[in-house]
A and B are shown apart, each in its own frame.
Chain A
Amino acid sequence: MEIPVEFLLEKTIIVVAVFTVSLVIAMYSTYAERKVSALLQDRIGPNRAGPLGLLQPVADGVKFFMKEEIIPSSANKFLFVLGPSLAMMTACLTGAVIPWGSTLEINGSIVPLQVTDLNIGVLYIFAVVSIGVYGVMIGGWASNNKFSLMGAIRASSQMISYEIAMGLSIIALIMTTGSLSIRDIVEQQVDGHWNIIYQPLGFFIFMVCAFAECNRTPFDLPECEAELVGGYHTEYSSMKLGLYLFSEYINMFISSAVMSAFFFGGYDIPYIEKLGLDHNLVTILGTGFFFFKIVLFIFLFMWVRWTLPRFRYDQLMNLGWKIMIPLAIINIILTGSGILLFK
């Protein structure tokens, strides 16, 4: 098996770029979270570190590294370290199949702005997300603390419950697109034929489930400060806690990217071909527009967090099993009959 050097170089650059971008965006999401929460509550937010407080994430990172690292004596040491690493790893894996832009032409060769275009990209995302539960569960159990265990159990049952509704809402989307490759799904939405027009209910279900999968308010029961102290990361300190918090923000970034790719046309700017611009320029503009959509979704995540109170646990399960799953099944039936009628 011969692998050409240019191919390796190209993919390495894209992988490093995707990794860096997701880390930087996650870093500045923590800043944005504090700033948005402050603005929504008539405060100003961090403004001391650097201009407008823009160096705040760096200061936070330094603080995380400098803090004393505590591993409880009764904790399972190996699993205690494995938990946050796993959470971070699965969070970073998902970015591989998301098409960040169309193609670039460099020296005659065409470079797609995507790590890999799997023909089962949608399922890949689901697989990685379903593995993501382990990070939380292992960490919570290894802490040997009842609050951590409660948080971990809540997290895993919540994630499993909402994965079903999420998968069902995506099945309706796949019925209309006919492909499991995310690039195909994005390419089909050119010129404003965004899937949100055909799948509004599907998008709604997917969004609610994405909130639940990311453990964000109103579904942040796993970390429930009021009753579970800190949930699964009660016993964690220093950068291991940082990894857990960071993976949450990366998950948020990735689910924003997935939502905008699936339902809002990804890197598509409607009717930009009519302007007759250079292909590379169109690609770069498209990528910029994609990131604009992602930032809007991240803002939505934060906006919801600082508006809505948290669900009670039985309400959460009721919503997941008795409302979201039937709604998703109804959506599949509606989509199926729509396809039969109009195509």
Chain B
Amino acid sequence: MGNIIFYILSGITLCSAFFVILSKNPVYSILSLVITFCCITAHMLLLSADFLAVVNIIVYAGAIMVLFLFVIMMLNLNEAVTQGTKSFISKLAAFISGGLLLVALVFLLKGQQIGAVDLSKLDPNFGSAQELGKILFNQFILPFEITSVLFLSAMIGAVMLGKKDLKDN
């Protein structure tokens, strides 16, 4: 049964992911990206990574995508604006960067073990908030702290950008 769910989900994920880049209307693109994220969340649930799954929904589908949608609705980008022909150079740049991403992904997948993971052999607490917290604060404490400093600086930067406008007025 797990396999059937996996294949159905994968199909939906791929279809919606393709729709993201093929759709002419940016709002449709974003909505199908949200569906893609929801499907990825379901994949994570199948891999019994509950915490990551829910955080994925909260952060990506719930916050970042809403901001994307927000901006597109505010700018009111309709099909006429976005359909304008792109120059040859930008097409070339898109092709090269996309190709590089594909190469990187294939390279990453080369060494990986592909196939079903036996979930019954896993620790029952695997993927739970407690386990993740223990690993994050023991094994990966340095990257975690560095990331938090990065976020703090980003936050301060945003506050400074916001403050600057006030002084000018």
Contact = CB atoms under 8 A, between A and B. Distances in A.
A126 interface: yes
B73 A152 contact: yes
B73 A153 contact: yes
B157 interface: no
Given A118-B50, A119-B50, A141 B62 contact: no
Interface residues of A, number: 25
Q: Is the interface of A mostly helix, strand, loop or mixed?
A: helix
A123 interface: yes
Contacts of B58: 123, 126-127, 130
Interface in A121-144: 123-124, 126-127, 129-131, 133-134, 137-138, 141
- B interface secondary structure, majority: helix
B128 A120 contact: yes
Interface residues of B, number: 22
A146 to B, nearest CB: 10
B62 A133 contact: yes
A141 B2 CA distance: 37
A149 interface: yes
A160 B27 CA distance: 19
A110 to B, nearest CB: 20
A180 interface: yes
A8 interface: no
A119 B54 contact: no
A180 B61 contact: no
Contacts of A156: 66, 69-70
A254 B155 CA distance: 33
B57 A137 contact: no
Contacts of B66: 130, 133-134, 137, 156, 160
User: When A and B form their complex, which 6 residue pairs have the shortest distance between CB atoms, in order from nearest?
Assistant: A130-B62, A127-B57, A123-B54, A127-B54, A1-B1, A127-B58
Interface of B: 1-2, 27, 31, 34, 50-51, 54-55, 57-58, 61-63, 66-67, 69-70, 73-74, 128-129
Given A123-B54, A160-B63, 17 more contacts: A119-B50, A120-B51, A120-B54, A126-B54, A127-B54, A127-B61, A130-B61, A131-B57, A131-B61, A137-B73, A141-B69, A141-B73, A152-B73, A156-B70, A157-B70, A163-B63, A180-B129
